Amino acid sequence: MILFVVALGYNVWGLSHHFTMGFMAGHEFRQSQTALIARYIDQENNFGLLYEVPVLGKPWVALLLEVPVYQWSVVGLSRLTGWEHVVAARAVSVTCFYVMLGGVWLLLGRLGVPRLKRLVFLGLILATPVYVFYSRAFLMDAMALMGSVWWLYAFVRVMQERDWRWLAVAVVAGSLSALIKGAVYAVWLVPGAAYGAWVLWGEYRAKLGWKRLVQTVCWGLGTVVVALGLLKLWLDYTDPIKAAHASAWIFTSKNLSLGNWGMFSAEALLSGTVWRHFLQCWEQAIMSRWLLGGVLLAGLFLRSVRGPVLGIGGMFFVAQFMMPYAFAYQDYYYYICAVFAVVAAGYVVTGLLERPQTAWAGLALWVVLFAAQVQAYRLDYYRQQSAVMDGGSPVTAALRELTPKNSVIVVAGADWAAMTPLYAERRALMVRNGLENDRDYLRRAFYELGDEEVSAVVLVGAVRDNQNLIRLVTERFELTPDPLFWWRNEAVYVSHHQAMRMRATLNGERWATLGLQVNEELDIPGPVRTPVSQELIQGGQHLLVPVPFEGYFEHGSGWVEHEGRKVLLMNPNADLWLRPPSGARRIEWRVGIMPGAYAREDAHTDGVRFVVMAEAEDGASRVLCQRVLEPWGRAEDRGEALLAAEYEPRPGETLRFCVRPWGNAAYDWSYTASIKVE
């Protein structure tokens, strides 16, 4: 009892250490994605199944990996208590961990372990590094494990008692686990299936008749059929959405199981590299691999506990064999199965304790195991958990504070790690590693952002030298030709329209202290503006309302006949400025691209971008609406298009109608049919 109290106190101390710290230690890339989902559920008040994961570009709902029960719980607790999401998330995870322990306690009882001896097992679980560290993470694993443990306990009760109440518990707990994280449920189905087979075998040997065997099978299947059916429905719903996305297709259930997890892959299991990572994860997540392996091996020589050590300890290995890549390269996956190894080790301890002549050895072994777990935590997880920082970086702080709130950022060189969009509080297109040179993918992904304001592009690591990518993004999104600022291995290009204002702010002492390097030599030319001609004004009566007062036409302009009416040629680069009426409420801009621009396969436009901006007297600007027309590749972009936005003028504000090339300007024969601001 005393040792259990020590273990519980240690666990509470570890879980509470830096509990309110904003930095999410431990595979922050995965925690940040979960946190991002919770943010947009809260922000959009969207508690539906089609939720936003704005990481891989549009459509924002493409990356649907789990039913967000965990995130709903976090948002609900945050709204109820006023806590920040990260604190609410840790509270939810910790609660799920302790509720899971209740299920383990009851399962041990079903295995015949006396109450006092169960504390031996729980004490070791409480001290396991992965349960101290990741039970405070912004991850759904604690909730999924809780559901699986309670499903297994309810399953055992159903098999033993044929009780409808426990069947209901099994259905609810199993469904919860399967929908939150199917990988966890899949692992815990294995011991359930083994126990079900053992029950069937016993009934067969007892010659209870085929009717009894069929009943047993039906009761067993009843505990899983709903959960597996719901999981199948979820995958059928989400896989087509992911498959249709430019880059989220890699996260379909088939690709995850074969590629990311390497499910039952013989190649993975025969890989020395994979096994080396397994052993490293044991050291990190549980205890010394030599001690763990030695204790489990010793348990096979203790006749009284050989069966539990072999069966329960074997599940620790089965889980890793099921998904070798997941366990080899992501230590938090051991949250699923570390309990099997620790319980098996606990059986060795109790096997020694139950014999008077070896009781002292059992007590000593428990202390050694506990000390080894504390040491493993101290050497790794504690150091990560002790970081004093709110999360993010000077780059994300600058993006959060200086770019328009509803704008989008593009990130390349950081794969799909969601830290930058999370801490910058911006939706993002993160170009997955390996796709930065895929022009077809980039063309599609960038086109899908055609109605969004892209305020910045962050290039990380070697991608900073990828001139083809740099040229493509700066041309597409009208960015500065060189980075506006750098930090460590990140270079940031920003919108022309925001560059001067951002540079003036970034020159402050605060940003220099944070280590940002600002490009003082960057040439940021202002727009060329000249009064519009009387010919343009007179030709546009009733078509341009109100009348523009300034304009810029790099390739000239004029009114021409097109399909029986007058239109204003506005080939990129072109701008019109006008002053909105004080009572204006709506903007409508009708535009198009001449059919000749996309009539020939060997010579055609690659698209035109149309943007409506509101510009303040101090130089600040905001994008009201925009659209890309790419008629060569997209038939729906042919003919006339309407850009429309609800609008309320601000004092001293002017409107700017911009026409820009979507790539190079060749064959970009575009026009304006009408502008109405009323």
What does the pLDDT look like over 303-347, one tens digit per residue?
A: 999 999 999 999 999 999 999 999 999 999 999 999 999 999 999
Name the band, by pLDDT with cuts 50, 70 and 90, for residue 265.
confident
Write out the CATH class of domain 530-677: mainly beta
- Range(s) for CATH 2.60.120.1060 in the chain? 530-677
- pLDDT for residue 180 is more than 80: yes
Percent of the chain residues past pLDDT 90, beyond the cut: 85
Average pLDDT over residues 641-654: 94
What pLDDT is recorded for position 259?
74
What pLDDT is recorded for position 258?
78
- pLDDT for residue 121 is more than 90: yes
Q: Give the Å distances, CA to CA, from 6 to 13, 136, 374.
A: 11, 20, 12
d(CA 542, CA 676): 9
What pLDDT is recorded for position 16?
95
d(CA 530, CA 362): 89
What pLDDT is recorded for position 323?
94
Query: What's the sign of the alpha-carbon dihedral 544, 547, 550, 556?
Result: positive
Nearest to 580 by CA among 571, 591, 568, 589: 589
Average pLDDT over residues 12-19: 95
- pLDDT for residue 524 is more than 90: no
pLDDT tens sequence across 357-402? 899 999 999 999 999 999 999 999 999 999 998 899 999 999 999 9
**How would DSSP label each residue in 423-482?**
HHT-EEEEE-TT-TT-HHHHHHHHHTTTTS-EEEEEEEGGGGG-HHHHHHHHHHHTB-SS
- pLDDT for residue 289 is more than 90: yes
Average pLDDT over residues 113-141: 96
Average pLDDT over residues 75-83: 97
- Range(s) for CATH 3.40.190 in the chain? 394-518
What pLDDT is recorded for position 43?
96
What pLDDT is recorded for position 483?
96
Percent of the chain residues past pLDDT 70, beyond the cut: 100
CATH 3.40.50 holds for 394-518: no
Token representation of residue 6: 């020590």
What pLDDT is recorded for position 539?
85
pTM of the predicted protein model: 0.92
- Count CB-CB contacts under 10 A for residue 558: 12
Token representation of residue 382: 């504690």
Average pLDDT over residues 32-60: 96
d(CA 257, CA 262): 6
- pLDDT for residue 1 is more than 80: no
First to last CA, the chain: 78
What pLDDT is recorded for position 264?
80
Q: Which amino acid is at 150?
A: W
Range of lowest pLDDT (5-19, 37-51, 221-235, 261-275): 261-275
